[in-house]
Structure formats: C-alpha cells, structure tokens
Amino acid sequence: MPVKFYATDEKIPLEMHKVRMIQKLNLLPVEERLKKIQEAGNNTFLLQNKDIYLDMLTDSGVNAMSDLQTASMLQADDSYAGSETFNRVKAAVKEVFGTENVLPAHQGRACENILAEAYVKPGMVALMNFHFTTTKAHITRLGGEVIELVQKKGLIPQSDDPFKGDFDLKELKATIKKYGPEKVAFVRVEAGTNLIGGQPVSLENMLAVSDICHDYGIKSILDASLLQDNVYFMKTREPQCKYMTTKEIYHLLASRFDIIYFSARKLGFSRGGIITSVDPKYTNEMMEFIPLYEGFLTYGGMEVRSMEAMAQGLLESLDMEYINQGPEFIEYLVNDLDKYGVPVIKPAGGLGAHLDCQAFVPEMPHNQYPAAAVGAAIYIAGGIRGMERGTVSEQREEDGTERFAELELQRLAVPRRVYTLSQIKYCADRVKWVWDNRNLIGGLEWTLEPKVLRFFFGRMKEIGYWQEELVEKFKQDFGDSL
C-alpha cells in the first residue's frame, strides 16, 4: 500500500526496513578527485572504493543483505558433494520458479558461458531484445552473431511507454524465417533490459515470445537477473498482473520458457548464478559443462555461505515490500533530475537512473565517448562513481571500425537498501551542477584499449584540459565545500 505524507504532496519513497549496520564513507576534496579519475584512466571501474563517496557503478553484488540472509550463512554445509546447502538452494528455486532441475554457477556470466558452449555454433544467431556485454562476448567468441530485436520505442530516450524492453514480435518472426530455425541458437529475453536504461518487458510480450519460439521449435531463454524489478513494473504497470501474486508471475514464466538463468548478485542480493528448467532435457545437455568450468554439481564454483544467502534472498524476492525499494528510489532520483532539466531516460526503469549523454553533450562525436566523459565529470563534481553504458561498452567490428551505441548512457545505479534519501538527493544535486556546466565537458581518447570487454580494463585521457577547467569552476561555485 502506498503511504501518503501529510505535510507534502511530494511522492516520497518510504523504506520498509531499518538500518542496523553502517560503513564509513569518504569524500575527497575536488582536487584529489581530479587526480584519482586521471590516474584511473578516466575509467570508473579502475577507481578505488576508498576514493568514492557514492558507488553507483552497479547494483550487482553490492546490495545490502537482510538479517535473515546474514543469519542463514551460519548453517552452511561445505561438503563437496551431497551438500544440504545445495538442497536448500534447490528448494528455494522450486518455491520461487516451480522448477526442480537446477545447475549452479559462480555468477550470471558463467551461466552465459555454459549456455553458449552448449548451444552456439559458428554461423548461428542468437536473437534477443537487447544484448548485454558479457552475453554478446560469449556468443561472438564462439562464432555466433547477436541480433537485437527490441521494439523501436525502446530506443526513444523519453516517452511514457511503460514497457520499452519489449520484443518486436513481427521482426522476431521475420528474422527466424530469414535465417531458418536451425540457424537460431536460441531466443533470449532479458528482463529489465540493461543497456537501454533498465527498461522492463511486459508479461504479455514475454509470453508471446515464448509462444513464437515453441511454434518454430527454437529454445526460449529468460535472463531473470533483473526479474524482480521487472515483476515490480508488471505489478504496477500491467493490468493483467495487478491481482497476480509475484509467485504466480514467476511460476508462469518458468512454465513457458525452456531455460531460465540469473545472476544472484542481482536476483536475491547475494552471489552466484543459477540455470534452471522445467524439462530436465536442457539441464542434462548443459550438466557436463558445470564440473568442466565451474565446480561440482552441488556448488558450481560458489562459496557455500553465499549459497545460503542466495536461498534466503530468492524467497525474499517474492516480497513486494523488499523488491519495491529499488524501483521507487530510482524513480525518485529520475524525477529530481527531470525536474532540474537533466536529460534522463524516462520512464524510470530498474537498475538506476540513466543519463542521456547524447542530449547532455550533443556536439560531442561518438568517437570522443560522451557517456564516459560525463561519468568522469560526475566523479569530479561529487565523488560519485557511475558506469558508462554507451560506445565504450560496445566492441569494435571485425574490421576494427567503431560500433557506435544506439544510446549513450551514463548509469547511476542504486544499490538496494544501501543509500539514504539524502544521499540520493546529493547525487541529483551534483548531476544538476554538471548539467549546468556541461559546456566545459570535453571528450576522451584511448591510451590503452583491450580487444575484449574494453570498458572493464581500458584507459583514456582527456582531450585538452577540460577537467582542470571543471575543477576551477567547481571551486568558484562551492568554495571550500567538498
């Protein structure tokens, strides 16, 4: 139930939890922030946590666990085989998804590796609403190709469409006919489509995709890593889901998709990954890859205390009072930024607030990496670490030419149950300052560019001296304030 405030009409998210443990944060002076981002090669992944005030890089593996999750870790059974911990994980998966066939892996991208090894052959295509970085890398390294079929509405930065992650069903059918079902490794639906702003997919669209797959005899796969956010949006935006329980939605999806996998760093707020299926045919086809790449079938490379936390966290992912906090805090941040005039992806999705950097610095060409430049500016202005989700997060074409992103986004993720509302407002305030001084932001150029997943390891330098000029303007406006 929504809770109204008496003294204001402002929509304020109300936490249905209390904080019982704290961790000290550090906010460096602006001159130090400039030094640190330049030492990190303008790559926020290479910043050290001790030099960050708000770590909004990701919501993966950095969410606060519940008291019951922490307590559950004490009962872990570290037997190599036949572990009771794994039995509890299986029981939780069955409760949440209704599936009994479970393969463990050390995290979500390990699940992607196993799926690719099992089903992708050279010359095959994988169809998806939108790619994720590691998903695409696993498919292309095996000679496959990723084809994105998100509806065009998903690439419009600001709209009022509630489900911008939906598949284009007409294009899906046409693409299957073009390549032939035998050339399609699988169709993957990504809940809470990451690279276009954490935008959800409707239940209606997911079920339609699975029906098309079954009609053509193609494997349907649901990436459920962001499913709890997606279920929140289904419950609040999709009429047919209003009176369904969260468990009913999870079970329905699991009954219709051939395979479901997820990263427990996102779904369940712990660590690890899971592949599950109603039909044992699929888990049997992938089983041999678990001991080859991960570990034995009862731990899959996971540490058993994390597995216990996963089991409890999965059960908590059914509770709307747990899963609503992230989307509601994100919506609050998006609304504040929008009120300030900052170009931000709308409607608010999951994961975090996504700044539209093409609108932020419209004159900057893609090959000067506007999303990364805006991210560096935000760290300098506020000690806030976001993540580039634009051209830097793409990979070059085979001929070495740059593949420009459909959207140049700077993501400000909101880890669940970690930051307070005043910290969210501080973030909005510092981004507003960067927006008001956007004329000072210049581009970046590579000094070290890895061939694969360059956004993790690559280094850049500023073009000119725009970062020093930004620091001087900050000191003029804020004086001695950090």
Catalytic residues: 80, 132-133, 223, 266, 389, 455
> Angle 330-332-335 (CA atoms, 0-180°, nearest 5)?
110
Q: If you count DSSP H runs as helices and E runs as strands, how many of each does the chain have, helices first?
A: 19, 14
Q: What is the DSSP string of 39-53?
A: HTTT-GGGS-GGG-S
Question: Do 366 and 407 touch, CB atoms closer than 8 A?
Answer: no
Give how far the C-alpha of residue 396 lies from the chain's centroid of Cα atoms, to the nearest Å: 22
- The DSSP secondary structure of 110-123, one letter per residue, reads HHHHHHHHHH--TT
Backbone angles phi, psi at 262, to 5 degrees: -160, 160
β-strand partners of 189: 222
State the DSSP code for 94: H
Rounded CA separation 5/303 (Å): 44
Element housing 125 (H / E): strand 125-128
Closest CA to 41 of 469, 455, 447: 447
* Burial label, 292 (beta-carbon count in 10 A; 0-12, 13-18, 19+): exposed
Q: Could you give the CA distance from residue 411 to residue 60 in angstroms, rounded to a whole number? A: 13
Tally of CB atoms within 10 A around 475: 14
CA dist 65 → 82, 98, 102, 269, 362 (Å): 26, 24, 23, 6, 40
Task: Provide the sign of the torsion angle of the four alpha carbons 359, 360, 364, 365, taken in this order.
Answer: negative
Residues in the chain: 482
Taking the C-alpha atoms of residue 377 and residue 391, their distance in angstroms, rounded to an integer, is 17
DSSP 218-284: --EEEE-TTHHHHHHHHHHH-GGGTTS-HHHHHHHHHHHSSEEEEETTTTTSSS-EEEEESSHHHHH
